[in-house]
Amino acid sequence: MNQTSSRSIGGGCGLRIYPPLLAAGLLIATLILHLLGGPHHYPHRVQVHEFIGLLTAVVGAWFSAFAAGVFTGRNTTLNPYGEPAQLVDAAPFTFTRNPMYAGVATLLLGFALFFWSPVMLLAPIIFFLVIDRAVIPREEQNLERIFGAAYQDYQRRVRRWL
């Protein structure tokens, strides 16, 4: 890979984006912005949006953890900058190439719904854009370099997201 293509996908200048840290930072930042947005009344009864938000967050966390467990079970790295030991194409990687990232984005969406916060909707949107533009292209180049035609076939069969 030449230096120009490295820079174009976030790999230049030593910039490394770690998805869990990005998600945590976005969650904290948008929660602070939400709380600074004025007084908030939290009734004692559970609201529908809180239930839906909690359910969405739990589903996202479970989906991401399940996918991470599949990686761990196959003895391959969870580090987006590491060397994968094998191409994982078992469920849930059969219907999305990035279930861990999709799960984290869903988790962040769940928090926005729970707090019924428009500003917190920025977290899943920014997470999606950064991961899609800066992390996944570098991972895909690495997987194609290591697994060649097998990875290209996998890309044709399975969508990047949902």
Q: What is the pLDDT of residue 43?
A: 64
What pLDDT, in 10s, does the model give residues 88-139? 999 999 999 999 999 999 999 999 999 999 999 999 999 999 999 999 999 9
**Measured between alpha carbons, how far is 13 from 130 in angstroms, rounded to an integer?**
16
Position 15 pLDDT exceeds 90: no
**Could you tell me which residue, 88 or 2, shows the higher pLDDT?**
88
What pLDDT, in 10s, does the model give residues 18-70? 999 999 999 999 999 999 987 776 666 778 999 999 999 999 999 999 999 99
Domain membership of residue 136 (yes or no) is yes
Write phi, then psi, for 85 (nearest 5 degrees). -80, -25
Q: What is the pLDDT of residue 2?
A: 38
**Measured between alpha carbons, how far is 62 from 69 in angstroms, rounded to an integer?**
10
Q: What is the pLDDT of residue 37?
A: 86
**Measured between alpha carbons, how far is 9 from 76 in angstroms, rounded to an integer?**
23
Q: What is the pLDDT of residue 154?
A: 97
Position 71 pLDDT exceeds 50: yes
Domain membership of residue 139 (yes or no) is yes
**Measured between alpha carbons, how far is 62 from 12 in angstroms, rounded to an integer?**
33
Contacts of 135 by beta carbon, 8 Å cutoff, 6+ apart:
10, 17, 19, 80, 101
Q: How many domains does the chain have?
A: 1
Domain membership of residue 4 (yes or no) is no
Domain membership of residue 3 (yes or no) is no
- Expressed as residue numbers, the domain containing 68 is 18-36+46-157
Q: By C-alpha distance, which of 61, 57, 62 is closest to 31? A: 57
Token readout for 58 is 């739990």
**Could you tell me which residue, 64 or 162, shows the higher pLDDT?**
64
Domain membership of residue 103 (yes or no) is yes
